Homo-oligomer: A and B are copies of this chain.
Amino acid sequence: MDSSANVSERQAQAPALAISTVIFALRSDPSSGRPEIWLPLVRRIRQPHLGRWALPGGPLGGSESLQDAAARNLRETTDLEPTYLEQLYAFGGLDRAATRRLVSIVYWALVRPDQAGLARESENVRWFRVSEAAGLAFDHDEIVAYALDRLRGKIEYGSVAYHFLGDRFTLAQLRGVYEAVLGRQLDPANFRRQFRSAKDIVATDDVLQGVRNRPPRLYRYTGQPAPASPPPG
């Protein structure tokens, strides 16, 4: 279609539909050892916003569900499998993209950073601290902020922190997740009390070796790996 289409022609045009994904992972600060929230961004290789960083995403394939599309562009950018994937919001404001009316259905995901994926950066894919991810293309700054809100809400509700971690973890590691997401320190003793009484977290017989203090016990999460409420549709 001719890019000189006038306003009424643009209005008659069907809105374009895209899927984007906000991908969160934890990476520990090398000096302090405290975990921080990171996310991968991709560099725009075409107009508009050429050269700026943006959320991974793309058009919805004709034979994939919305969630499959989100999982696909997660895999394509990071080579990781999500441990958690949930729809965030559908953004459809009139002025999101200059060239064409664009509706984006955005997902958010958690991945485990343990694997090689975090190192797998390239010229056009790079991981950023969430606090340093500003000046993104389109309205992606707001989308990231909203995804962070959702992450905080979900972690307070309870069942999402485990998806940042491996299958076995110490309570201190779990507390580190909470502290990184909520942005404040938590009392170790009270945190322990609260999670000892949580029914879907069980102690294993093993402890973590190789630390310079008393070896902490390892725990396992036995709850559902899938989100609690949303429908499959």
Taken residue by residue from 49 to 82, chain A's Cβ proximity to chain B (1 for < 8 Å, 0 otherwise) reads as 0000000000011111110000000000000000
Smallest Cβ-Cβ distance to A101: which chain B residue: B62
Interface size on A, residues (CB 8 A): 36
Known interface pairs A15-B17, A17-B15, A17-B103; A60-B92 also in contact (CB < 8 Å): yes
Residue A185 at the chain B interface, CB threshold 8 Å: no
Segment from A6-14, A28-36, A111-119, A174-182 that makes contact with B: A6-14
Q: Are B62 and A90 within 8 A (Cβ)? A: no
CB distance from A63 to the nearest CB of B (A): 5
Residues of B within 8 A of A15 (CB): 17, 60, 62
Residues of B within 8 A of A16 (CB): 14
Cβ–Cβ < 8 Å partners of A65 in chain B: 92-94
Complex contacts, A64 vs chain B, CB 8 Å: 94
Closest A-B pairs by Cβ, 10 of them: A11-B62, A66-B92, A91-B233, A93-B233, A90-B90, A11-B63, A90-B105, A146-B231, A142-B231, A139-B233
In angstroms, Cα B10 to Cα A101, docked, is: 23
Whether A128 sits at the interface, judged by CB under 8 Å, is no
Interface of A is mostly: loop
Q: In the docked arrangement, what's the CA distance between A118 and B65, Å? A: 37
* Complex Cα–Cα for A105 and B89 (A): 10
Q: A126-144 vs B: 1/0 string, CB under 8 Å?
A: 0000000000000100110
Contact yes or no, B62 A10, CB < 8 A:
yes
A232 to B230, CA, bound (A): 22
Partner of A89, one of B91, B139, B230: B230
B13 close to A62 (CB less than 8 A): yes
Residues of B within 8 A of A230 (CB): 89, 146
